[in-house]
Amino acid sequence: MFPNSILGRPPFTPHHQQHNNFFALSPTFYSPQQLVDAQFNFQNADLSRAVSLQQLTYGNVSPIQTSTSPIFRGRKRLSDEKNLPLDGKRQRFHSPHQEPAVVNQIVPLSGERRYSMPPLFHTPYVPEIVRCVPPFREIPFLEPRETTLPEAKDKLSQQILELFETCQQQVSDLKKKELCRAQLQREIQLLFPQSRLFLVGSSLNGFGTRSSDGDLCLVVKEEPVNQKTEARHILMLVHKHFCARLSGYIDRPQLIRAKVPIVKFKDKVSCVEFDLNVNNIVGIRNTFLLRTYAYLENRVRPLVLVIKKWANHHEINDASRGTLSSYSLVLMVLHYLQTLPEPILPSLQKIYPESFSPAIQLHLVHQAPCCIPPYLSKNESCLGDLLLGFLKYYATEFDWNSQMISVREAKAIPRPDGIEWRNKFICVEEPFDGTNTARAVHEKQKFDMIKDQFLKSFHRLKNKRDLNTILPLRTAILKR
């Protein structure tokens, strides 16, 4: 249905505009007045759709720039437009090379300006600073890489591989989520024309399962937003828009007023549940960092999936209940593989600092996973041994009291003295912004439960070498 849709990221700008990415056109901040403007757009979105829209196309001409366009007010046109030919009244342009603007050789306009005749209703007011969305060059759908699975040398490794092959996210699952993202982006751009919607998290980073929820990040500007005020108000408008216009397609949209507010909803067609946040820029960057790690070595993805399933089964994989988030668990697995006597993974941020710099523009971050070759490790440990070693490392070797898990440094480092790290039971460094991804574990009871599960599972698996002793396979496969 959407052959040119893109996966979790905005496409590139046309070549002649690559020096001006869409964030350069975004306002430095959304003022209260601009949020009011967005609310006004929401109230008028249905009216702007009441008239059929005529799509405009490009011609093969040099880049052209827009001047201030006429705005229709009811059926009355501005006086200086009266003598223009009918097709030329859509918008006036001035070429930087003084070439005359030609019909069908103009930049596509935002929805409310694509009329060949005046609209029947007043056009919704859009602040001039965010009025025209720049055109973008479409890029191919980003499908998972084809990788060869590791050889299963024993029963435990075979069990891990079978679980992975059964439960890993399929390309069809990913395409369903991308289709939802593309449709929702068009709807949200009725409110915030310059915004972009990213698919992030496990759906895109290579560690998703068939039952993984979809995580979406709405980017309205490249700078951080105040999550208590600005982000909450933006999500309130999005929530109202979903309830008013998309009730036939979206089930149970809920605005969760947490520290980082989100809108939760379920797509009725794909039955996928989504969480939508505003401007979690670091979540976009770490999605593609983790995606690179996922395909760097063929043992990484099966090992991460079985550990996530194990943690979920033992109820230690839910940040909302004071245990470990899936993101923290993935970082813990990567850290373990980096700290083996013969490492299976390096630190990508050390080896390729230019590919994972926090300064890279968001529309370029997807390139890193495609440019970095596989890592050739001398470590030939099988999946079963790696799972057992992971449990042993965190049960008996890692010093929870004084050390911090750092994938960026590829080693355990001393805890910082900052307030964010003080009196925390588990410290896992976020690779880009340096925050603690395991801060949800703030109760000693939950921390003790996590440590206890590592120790018990290690001893059980060591004695039996059977995955069913720590994770009933039938149950795990049914949940997928």
Q: What single string gives the DSSP state of each residue in 295-362?
A: TTSTTHHHHHHHHHHHHHHTT---GGGTS--HHHHHHHHHHHHHSSSS-SS--HHHH-TTTS-TTS-G
Q: Provide the pLDDT for residue 53.
A: 32
HEC secondary structure over 26-63: CCCCCCHHHHHHHHHHHHHHHHHCCCCCCCCCCCCCCC
Question: Residue 361 in contact with residue 288, Cβ under 8 Å?
Answer: no
Cβ atoms of 118 and 72 closer than 8 Å: yes
Q: Which of 373, 378, 392, 406 is nearest to 456 (CA)?
A: 392
Tell me 168's DSSP state.
B
pLDDT per residue of the chain (480 residues) written in tens, 0 to 9:
433 444 444 433 444 443 433 333 333 455 555 655 665 565 555 444 433 333 323 333 333 333 333 333 344 444 444 444 444 333 333 334 433 333 333 223 333 333 333 332 333 333 333 333 333 333 345 566 667 899 998 999 999 999 999 999 999 999 999 999 999 999 999 999 999 999 999 999 999 999 999 999 999 987 889 999 999 999 999 999 999 999 899 998 999 988 889 999 999 999 999 999 999 999 999 999 999 999 999 999 999 999 999 999 999 999 999 999 999 999 999 999 999 999 999 999 999 999 999 989 888 898 888 889 999 999 999 999 999 999 999 999 999 999 999 999 999 999 998 888 888 999 999 999 999 999 999 999 999 999 999 999 999 999 999 999 999 999 888 877
The confidence score (pLDDT) of residue 30 equals 55
Strands 262-267 and 273-278: antiparallel
Are the C-beta atoms of residues 110 and 193 closer than 8 Å to each other? yes
- What's the pLDDT score for residue 309? 97
pLDDT value at position 35?
Answer: 57
Rounded-to-integer distance, Cα 336 and Cα 330, Å: 10
Supply 64's token pair: 């052209």
Asked if residue 350 lies in contact with residue 426, where contact means CB atoms within 8 angstroms, the answer is no
